[in-house]
Amino acid sequence: MVLAAGRGSRLRPLTDTTPKPMIPFAGKPMLEYIVRLLAQHGFDEMVINLYHLPEVIQDYFGDGADWGVKITYSLEKELLGTAGAVKRVADFFDEPFLVYYGDNLTNFDLTDFWQTHHCEGEIASIGLLWMDDPTSRGIIGLDKRNRIDRFVEKPRPDQVFDDYLVNAGTYVLEPEILDRVPADAVCDFSQDVFADLLAAGLPLLGHRIPGQLLSTDTPERYQYACECVDSGSFTLP
């Protein structure tokens, strides 16, 4: 599932007329690169949740056939959070599934991530990577078995610990994790679901995911991401 419903308030005025996942890179919307990436790794059926300017995304992608995929849309009348959005379409997921945050431009090796999850057999696997400034994302600590033992969402500088890794906004989940998400309520994976699982002593797998990630949540980060794409230092899917 691709999470694409956010307003993108910090990117205004660009997002006044363009949904955040549709901001351009090298002449194409970011969401097209996401769809391409998923298709390259064998994810040919996907659900995309929508809220802000949904018709822009629906008109561009249609049913996904031009990209060799089948797209189903979930239109939210109110934003439900990352976990609440997935819970709303829980009937689609009767086997393990991927969740991808639609405001991240990446070239991740999703096949490696998917296979690792299936080998390890936990209820959830969280894609991780290192960033020099982790304060805008969740940071995670791992034990020797790559199970998560610490999780701090958007830490203050004094909360950043040694050997941290950053939540990459990409998960592989077992369907039963949605039993822990209330129906028709705002719920977040990082702040609510994963925190509850850790508190209950249930293991979560952290996986160092091969590839690069560019954030687009502020004008400065979007400009930097465009520069990385234009210079060739970031390889587009």
Residue 237 located in a structural domain: no
Domain of 26, CATH number, reads 3.90.550.10
Instruction: Give the pLDDT score at 198.
Output: 87
Return the bridge partners of 206, or none: 126
Catalytic residue list:
154
Report the distance separating Cα 212 and Cα 237, nearest Å. 11
Q: Do the domain assignments include residue 162?
A: yes
Does the residue 236 lie in any domain? no
98 pairs with which residues across the strands?
A: 172
Q: Which domain does 62 fall in, by range?
A: 2-231
| Those residues with Cβ within 8 angstroms of residue 111's Cβ, 6 or more apart along the chain or in another chain | 41, 42
CA dist 173 and 189 (Å) reads 11
pLDDT of residue 121: 80
pTM for the whole structure: 0.92
Please state whether beta strands 24-25 and 2-3 pair in parallel, antiparallel, or not at all (unpaired): unpaired
Give the integer Cα–Cα distance in Å for 118 and 17: 40
Q: Does the N-terminal peptide bond of residue 13 adopt cis geometry, omega within 30 degrees of 0?
A: yes
Average pLDDT of adjacent 10-residue blocks, the chain of 237 residues: 88 86 94 97 97 96 97 95 96 96 94 93 91 75 88 77 86 96 92 89 90 90 93 93
Domain count, the chain: 1
